[in-house]
Amino acid sequence: MTDSVLPQSLGDSARGDRWKPNRSLSKLTQKLIVLLFGAFAFVSVATTIGIVLTLIFETIEFFLEVSPWEFFTGTRWSPTFANPRFGIIVLLCGTFLTSVIGLLVAVPLGLLSAVCLSEYAPRSLRAWLKPALEILAGVPTVVFGYFALLMVTPFLKTFIPGLSTFNSLSAGLVLGFAVLPTIASLSEDAIFAVPLSLRQGSYALGATKRETVTGVVLPAALSGIVASIVLGVARAVGETMIVTLAAGQSPTLTLDPRSAVQTMTSFIVQITKGDAPYGSIEFKTLFAVGMTLFVITLVLNFFSFWFVRRFQEKYE
């Protein structure tokens, strides 16, 4: 019966003539693929190694010409002048000032928005507010720079006398709004993950909603919140375009938020914009400053790892 219906060739294949498993070829392909993809995975490790080696190599070159003592204790920064000075404290101070102003905005607003999104906002509204925050996170930083220099600074000038065109105040404020979505979104994940039973237990003891939030929910989510804040700090310290455009390029040792400062990142932009020749002292200075920046973010990262491991609460 079946033989008459099926064409001859298919009948053959059904009997197994075309059954050639060729396992050795498949296994060879798999081996090659694993090797190739393993090499791809190594690219990300190589990136880290590359960053560290690059920075170390040029930083050593830098310290052969400039004494570490001057680098860490000098209070003037003028590497491009005829009489160069290399006091990194000046740039650290600028970075510190803009970051602190930014974090004064981003940490309270970010945490409060996280609490609001997770605890107070109705689910339907949350579905709209979270993507809106993500849009804020997706705005290119050069656009924030435009906003800080050409919209926020003129606005602040109307009621803050003595505010210069480039100032760390408006750069810091806008920096805060650029960092805010990072802190809000990651803290919200941590707060949202706290089990409902903890909240119910707190209500059962007679606590109000606010007391439950600040006394039970936030401490329970502490490790996630701290991790989000540390990542926010790293973003603020490494942020480039906002501070370059709005905080200016004058390396002065000041804590006055109305005047212009130079951060580590805006120094790197200033030098690279003007084509520094390889091997010049400016070129080496770039990497010494980059190394300082990298070490700061690395320390922050390790702190975050340690904190999360030490204080993470696991709930079933």
Partner 1 sequence: MTVNSEQSPQLQETKANFNPNLKGRYRFDRVFKTISWIATFAGIVVLTVLLIGILVSGLSSLSFDFIVNPPSRKPEIAGIWPPLIGTICLLVITALFAFPVGVGSGIFLEEFSEDNLFAKAVEINISNLAAVPSIIYGLLGLFVFARIFEPVTGGRSLLSGGLTLALLILPVIIVATREALRAVPDSLRLAGMALGATRWQTVRSHVLPQALPGIMTGTILALSRAIGETAPLIVVGAATFVPFAPELSIKGLQSSFTAMPIQIFSWVSRPQDGFHEIAAGAIIVLMLVLLVMNGSAIWLRNKFQSNR
Can residue 221 be called a binding residue for partner 1 (CB under 8 A)?
no
User: Rule CB under 8 A: which of 4-23 touch partner 1?
Assistant: 21, 23
Residues 251-280, one symbol each (x = binds partner 1 by CB under 8 A, - = not), give --------------x--xx--xx-x--x--
User: Rule CB under 8 A: which of 27-46 touch partner 1?
Assistant: 27, 29-30, 33-34, 36-38, 40-45
Is residue 106 within 8 Å of residue 236, measured between CB atoms?
yes
Q: How far is the CB of 8 from partner 1 (least distance, A)?
A: 27
Neighbouring CB atoms inside 10 A of 59's CB total 21
Query: What's the distance, Cα to Cα, between the start and end of the chain in Å?
Result: 62
Is residue 85 within 8 Å of residue 68, measured between CB atoms?
no
Whichever of 15 and 309 has its CB closer to partner 1, that residue is: 309
Can residue 210 be called a binding residue for partner 1 (CB under 8 A)?
yes
Can residue 184 be called a binding residue for partner 1 (CB under 8 A)?
yes
Provide the token pair at 6.
């099926």
Q: How far is the CB of 277 from partner 1 (least distance, A)?
A: 11
Q: What is the largest CA-CA distance in the chain?
A: 101
Piece in contact with partner 1 (CB under 8 A), picked from 53-61, 62-70, 78-86, 216-224? 53-61
User: Rule CB under 8 A: which of 187-206 touch partner 1?
Assistant: 206
Can residue 160 be called a binding residue for partner 1 (CB under 8 A)?
no
270 contact partners, CB below 8 Å, separation of at least 6: 244, 249, 262
* Rounded CA separation 233/225 (Å): 12
> Which DSSP category does 159 fall into?
T
Is residue 288 within 8 Å of residue 60, measured between CB atoms?
no
User: Rule CB under 8 A: which of 62-81 touch partner 1?
Assistant: none
Can residue 146 be called a binding residue for partner 1 (CB under 8 A)?
yes
